[in-house]
Amino acid sequence: MTSDDADGGAFVIAVANRKGGAGKTTTAVNLAAGLARRNLATLLVDLDSQGHAGLAFGAVAAAGEANVHQIFTEGPGAIASAIRRLSGPSAWPDLIVADTRRPHPSDAPPDLLAQALSSDAIRGRYDVVVVDTPPSLDALMVTALAAAHAVLIPFVPHPLAVEGVRQFTSIFFKVRLSSNRRLRHLALLPVMANAQFLLHRRMIDALTQEFGERRIVGHIRSDIRLAEAFEIGRPIFDHAPSSRGAQDYDALIERLLSLWRPNGAAASAKAEEFDGVGGRRAD
């Protein structure tokens, strides 16, 4: 998470999948929580009007309260008033909640979130911004991709889900080539994965062959503790720190830091770039 990647501002990770039920919000929440535990100034943005990322910390937007969706009606500067400082048993990220009462905008400018995240309220204040995106390919998703430096795609190792990953990556490259040259990093994360299931192994192997081993960034095993953590409004690291879910998300964060922030220092200009599906670094 580098000055080269983030242009002197926060490194923006969009957690995205156009299909629901893929562990997207669980991943966004625990990724943000794990980064904050590593003393990185982290902001979690709930761009999904279901508001589930906020619920993971026991936070919802009351009627009339500042939220991320106000940038679509009031402009990018509205993001500053929506930042919440959270306090918990351990280091928690800051949070911007969604407006669960407002439908997704159908005509959002593609660069609106990018403008908001480049404001003084964000630049220089945060090392990383994690964006939980809606489970659909609409204006909000495009806005999120246009603001991101990296995309993490959680997926269930099922044939239909794997095909959805392939379709989504085509959108990634379209956005990268057309409107966001900073969108350099792509990672795939199997969730609810079981190595004992032949089908799961086959699906993961297929994507590994197609996109390269480097882009499969570990896996998240099924763990009821992850659902329990949502129920009590805490990340998995506070609810069940020795659970499989906590272990797997901790390993994921270490993997992403090694790929996108080598040696925990300012990343080099040789960070992996993509010029097409299956493409290698551009250096």
- Whether the per-residue pLDDT at 137 is higher than 90: the answer is no
pLDDT band at 271 (very low <50, low <70, confident <90, very high): very low
Greatest mean pLDDT among 97-106, 128-137, 216-225, 259-268 lies in 216-225
**Does domain 3-264 bear CATH number 3.40.50.300?**
yes
Work out the average pLDDT over 24-35: 96
* pTM (predicted TM-score): 0.89
pLDDT score for 5: 54
pLDDT score for 19: 79
pLDDT band at 227 (very low <50, low <70, confident <90, very high): very high
pLDDT score for 1: 56
Contact 14, 5 (CB under 8 A): no
Between the two ends of the chain, the Cα-to-Cα distance in Å is: 18
State which amino acid sits at residue 70: Q
- Domain locations in the chain? 3-264
pLDDT band at 265 (very low <50, low <70, confident <90, very high): very low
pLDDT score for 278: 40
pLDDT band at 103 (very low <50, low <70, confident <90, very high): low
